[in-house]
């Protein structure tokens, strides 16, 4: 079985050596999650696995912030600013209004996209309340299949695209039956770099099946697969930041 031997984050030579030594002692998928972290929602204190509508909306808000061309750190900081201001429901966002949302976005460091994001948040909140009583679980129940679910999410507001929907749904695998988004390019790149997938994984469905096999083959629960997928995203982001080419190590 493959083992984790690469350290994708910037660190000293000694620290990298220590991480590699630890990695060799544990399976690849499990080690990657332990080293890099799992679900982004967990990192933000959002309990999507509960299936609770309030928690799922919190993650949708965070995914909307992550979906822009902005660093993950700024997106996380901005989400925490929303949490600090108790702006974590469609009604609270609408009550705050456009000017108020722009102010919160700016404080979080989201200034480059503040105007359009404030508009997007108001639009999606209005649509969610009008169509689904403000409940994303109800939206999921109305979807006929995975593709329809993606379409319904994107129809909530202009600017909610494939990237945002993928970020949102990948952490809901095992929570929502119809949450089956394709693997992102970041995951495919990381999987290839770590030799978990063929050099060119054109069949995303087969690649997803393969990564699930790797995860469960190490004794992990299938419902926790989103943690592994998130760790691969983190690894892929590290590769992107360091402009890693095939065969190189992002260290």
Alpha carbon distance 104, 19 (integer Å): 38
pLDDT in tens, 183-211: 999 999 999 999 999 866 678 999 999 99
Q: Is 24 left (phi over 0), alpha (psi -120 to 50) or beta?
A: alpha
* Cα dist from 14 to 7, 17, 148, 187, 250, whole Å: 12, 5, 49, 28, 16
Residue 27 is classified by DSSP as: B
Q: Is the dihedral of CA 90, 96, 98, 100 positive or negative?
A: negative
Tokens 């700024």 belong to 74
Catalogue all structural domains in the chain, each as residue range(s) with its CATH number: 45-164 (1.10.340)
100-154: pLDDT as tens digits = 999 999 999 988 888 999 999 999 999 999 999 999 999 999 999 999 999 999 9
- Asked if residue 12 has pLDDT above 60, the reply is no
């Amino acid at each position: 079985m493959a083992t984790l031997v690469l350290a994708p984050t910037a660190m000293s030579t000694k620290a990298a050596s220590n991480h590699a030594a630890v990695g060799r002692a544990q399976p690849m998928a499990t080690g990657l999650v332990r080293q890099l972290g799992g679900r982004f929602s967990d990192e933000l204190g959002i309990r999507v696995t509960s299936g609770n509508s309030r928690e799922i909306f919190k993650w949708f808000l965070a995914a909307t912030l992550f979906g822009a061309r902005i660093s993950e750190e700024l997106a996380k900081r901005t989400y925490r600013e929303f949490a600090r201001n108790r702006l974590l429901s469609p009604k609270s966002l609408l009550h705050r209004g456009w000017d108020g949302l722009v102010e919160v976005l700016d404080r979080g460091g989201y200034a480059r996209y503040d105007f359009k994001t404030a508009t997007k948040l108001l639009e999606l909140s209005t649509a969610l309340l009008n169509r689904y009583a403000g409940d994303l679980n109800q939206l999921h129940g109305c979807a006929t299949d995975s593709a329809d679910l993606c379409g319904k999410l994107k129809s909530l507001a202009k600017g909610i695209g494939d990237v945002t929907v993928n970020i949102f749904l990948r952490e809901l695998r095992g929570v929502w039956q119809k949450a089956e988004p394709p693997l992102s390019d970041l995951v495919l790149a990381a999987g290839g770099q770590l030799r978990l997938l063929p050099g060119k994984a054109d069949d995303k469905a087969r690649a997803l099946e393969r990564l699930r096999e790797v995860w469960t083959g190490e004794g992990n629960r299938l419902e926790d697969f989103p943690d592994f997928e998130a760790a691969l995203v983190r690894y892929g982001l590290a590769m992107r930041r360091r402009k890693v080419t095939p065969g190189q190590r992002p260290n």
